[in-house]
Amino acid sequence: MRLFRSKRWWFLALILSVLIFTINFTAKNKDLFNRLGLPVITAISPAQKVLYTASLTIKEGFSTIPEMFALKKQNEELRKQVKELEQYKQRFLEYQRENINLRSMLGLKQRNFQYELEAAEVIGRDPGNWFNVILIDKGENNGIRKDMAVITDQGLAGYTISVGKNYAKVLLITDDRSSVSAMIERTRDNGILKGTIDPAPRGFVKMVFLPQEANLVKGDVVISSGLGGIIPKGIIIGEVVEAKKEPYDLMQYAIVRPEVDFQKLEQVFVIKSQNGNQGGSNP
């Protein structure tokens, strides 16, 4: 019996060490990991796609019933807003033309605000409660590579962390492990946007390394700063809801509410290139 027990413990220890070895090995060999994952994900993705879409439809259905009463009012407001935005758009186009002219006069490089986008559907979410990773249905075959920004029509959602032939894993900006270089649009103060870290409540993100003298106001818009090379400059991330000075430190931080509704992610866009160059890391 004693021998049996010790054998059992040896077996357990063996399994544990094999697993630890696997973690270290696959953390270093991403290709191998992707190759192993491909058949499994390919096999389950159709079912996931159907179920995910169905559950979102149900969710939408439930949330639209109370919304219906407010729709007429909202519609009028939106019409007004569209008119306003049309005017803004005209002015923006005017400024853009002027910008191009001035830049060419100064000999600066042209900046293109149009990105090459690839639309993708979300087909699944991290099953656990800890991390925020989603699976989208486009991959290498559609020109998507690792470290490309993923946006929605509302703003920045995250970036790709691993890519297979026809799927990609996206790390959302609310994940603890994500960090994005960002900027306060009004004051041009740079900082780093981290996922849910104390004391930001869940679903919010924290912007750190903001200079002590930065004058932050509630409602300030946060955009990506383009530093770091993954996320192009100028994508809306969210707005500041609280700014605080770090105790015993020369920095301050801000709690930022992301613009994207992460509970209702359905369709996303991957930014494949900007300024005519391919984004993402080299293969």
Partner 1 sequence: MMAYVFIMVILLVFQSTVMELFKIGGIKPDLPLVFALCCSLVKGENMGAFMGFVNGILEDIVYGRFLGFNALIKFLTGYIQGYFTRDIFKGPAIITMSLTFLGTLVYNIIFIFLSLIFKEITNPWYFFTPIVLPSALFNMIISPFVYYAIVKIERFFDYYFNVKY
Positions in the binding site for partner 1 (CB under 8 A): 12, 15-16, 19-23, 25-27, 33, 36-37, 40-41, 44, 47-48, 51-52, 54-56, 58-59, 124-131, 133, 135, 161-162, 169, 176-177, 197-198, 201-203, 263
We find the least distance from the C-beta atom of residue 139 to partner 1, in angstroms, to be 14
| Nearest residue (CB) to partner 1, 19 versus 217 | 19
We find the least distance from the C-beta atom of residue 224 to partner 1, in angstroms, to be 22
Q: Which two tokens stand for residue 116?
A: 């090459």
We find the least distance from the C-beta atom of residue 130 to partner 1, in angstroms, to be 7
We find the least distance from the C-beta atom of residue 171 to partner 1, in angstroms, to be 8
| Nearest residue (CB) to partner 1, 66 versus 219 | 66
Sign of CA dihedral 275, 276, 282, 283: positive
| Nearest residue (CB) to partner 1, 50 versus 102 | 50
We find the least distance from the C-beta atom of residue 23 to partner 1, in angstroms, to be 4
Q: How far apart are CA 164 and CA 43, in angstroms?
A: 13
| Nearest residue (CB) to partner 1, 174 versus 274 | 174
Q: Residue 207: which of 221, 195, 219, 225 has the closest Cα?
A: 195
| Nearest residue (CB) to partner 1, 37 versus 226 | 37
| Nearest residue (CB) to partner 1, 184 versus 230 | 230
| Nearest residue (CB) to partner 1, 90 versus 263 | 263
Q: What count of residues does the chain have? A: 283
Q: How far apart are the first and last CA of the chain?
A: 55
Q: Which two tokens stand for residue 256?
A: 């930022």
Residue pointed to by tokens 């949330």: 63
| Three-class SS state of 81 | helix
- The 10 Å Cβ neighbour count of residue 228 is 13
Q: How far apart are CA 67 and CA 72, in angstroms?
A: 10
We find the least distance from the C-beta atom of residue 30 to partner 1, in angstroms, to be 8
- 9-16 long-range Cβ contacts below 8 angstroms, 24+ apart: none
We find the least distance from the C-beta atom of residue 83 to partner 1, in angstroms, to be 36
| Nearest residue (CB) to partner 1, 146 versus 272 | 146
Collect all residues with Cβ–Cβ distance below 8 Å to 91 and sequence separation of at least 6: none
In contact, 168 and 149? CB cutoff 8 Å: no
Residue pointed to by tokens 């400024």: 95
Question: In the chain, count of helices (H) and strands (E)?
Answer: 3, 13
We find the least distance from the C-beta atom of residue 234 to partner 1, in angstroms, to be 28
